[in-house]
Amino acid sequence: MAYSDEAAKLAELIEAAQPAVALTGAGISVPSGIPDFRSPGTGLWERVNPFEVAHIDAFRRDPRRFWQFYSQRFATLRDKKPNGAHYALAELERRGLLAGVITQNIDRLHSQAGSKEVVEVHGSIARCRCLACGLTVPLEEAIALIEGDPEGVPRCHRCNAPLKPDVVLFGELLPLAAFARAEALCEQAALCLCVGTSLEVHPVAGLPELTVAKGGKVAILTKGKTPLDDLAALKVEGDVEEVLKGVVAALGSSAARAD
Ligand code: ZN
């Protein structure tokens, strides 16, 4: 496979700066047909204000209205498939070149692509949780509960409380254990590879700085400017899928040269 100079440079950096960790955002899932709600003109989020409707207060105040919206979110996400960028990161991990993937995405696509060490700092649609008793219910079961409830609210079978998607809603803190794991990965990394993230949402946006503080490097593969561009050893603006497939191809050929 042909690959670009940028992919070759990124491959070189990944090989030289080990261990490496990836930090991914909405941009890596755009080729899978999942719109980034921060970019204008994209579907579901165009018609509602996510900060209002996907807020923990909205869930507590009016679970019925919350689930009217969130069940659509489930419907748009449940059948999406990983793309070449997700598979490329899984392949890098398989080859021992990536210690893990920290993701802001809730779409489960890294795990579906075969990545093993996945830290979902904003949670995942894989489960719903009862805030009253802690019961968790897998996605498909939650969808059946939504479909079977006259109000469209999935309820805990133990205490009848409305279930909440196990994702971080606006107004909620990040899951402590996941974020601590993300911090540890970034502190230990010689390279933090940021993919498809505008690095604007804190505290996740501060993670690459932990790598730099410990003497590591940052590479950024995303469209548009980010606040960390000046800090980055390499900034690539190309298509995430194309570039990461190119990285895998470039690494393959450099290994062949070494034989
Ligand atoms: Zn319960």
Residues that place a CB less than 5 A from ion ligand 1: 130, 132-133, 135, 156, 158-159
Alpha carbon of 242 to ligand 1 centroid (Å) = 45
Average pLDDT, the chain: 92
Question: Which conformational region is residue 253 in: left (phi greater than 0), alpha (psi within -120 to 50 degrees), or beta?
Answer: alpha
Provide CB contacts within 8 A for 97, sequence distance 6+. 14, 15, 18, 20, 251
User: What's the gap in Å between 136 CA and the centre of ligand 1?
Assistant: 9
- The alpha carbon of 165 and the centre of ligand 1 are apart by a number of angstroms equal to 13
Measure CA 168 to chain center. 12
Over the stretch 175-192, which tens digit does the pLDDT of each residue have?
A: 999 999 999 999 999 999
Catalytic residues: 122
Question: Which part of the chain is CATH 3.40.50.1220?
Answer: 1-33+81-122+174-259
CA of 224 relative to ligand 1 center, distance in Å? 43
pTM of the model: 0.91
pLDDT tens for the chain, 259 residues long, are 678 999 999 999 999 999 999 999 999 999 999 977 655 555 555 667 777 888 999 999 999 999 998 998 888 899 999 999 999 999 999 999 999 999 999 999 999 999 999 999 999 999 999 999 999 999 999 999 999 999 999 999 999 999 999 999 999 999 999 999 999 999 999 999 999 999 998 889 999 999 999 999 999 999 999 999 999 999 999 999 999 999 999 998 655 444 4
Rg (CA), the chain: 19
Q: Are 73 and 48 in contact (CB under 8 A)?
A: no
Please name which of 7, 4, 5, 65 lies closest in space to residue 247, comparing C-alpha atoms: 7
CATH of domain 1-33+81-122+174-259: 3.40.50.1220
What stretch(es) of the chain map to CATH 3.30.1600.10?
35-79+124-167
pLDDT tens track for 124-160: 999 999 999 999 999 999 999 999 999 999 999 999 9
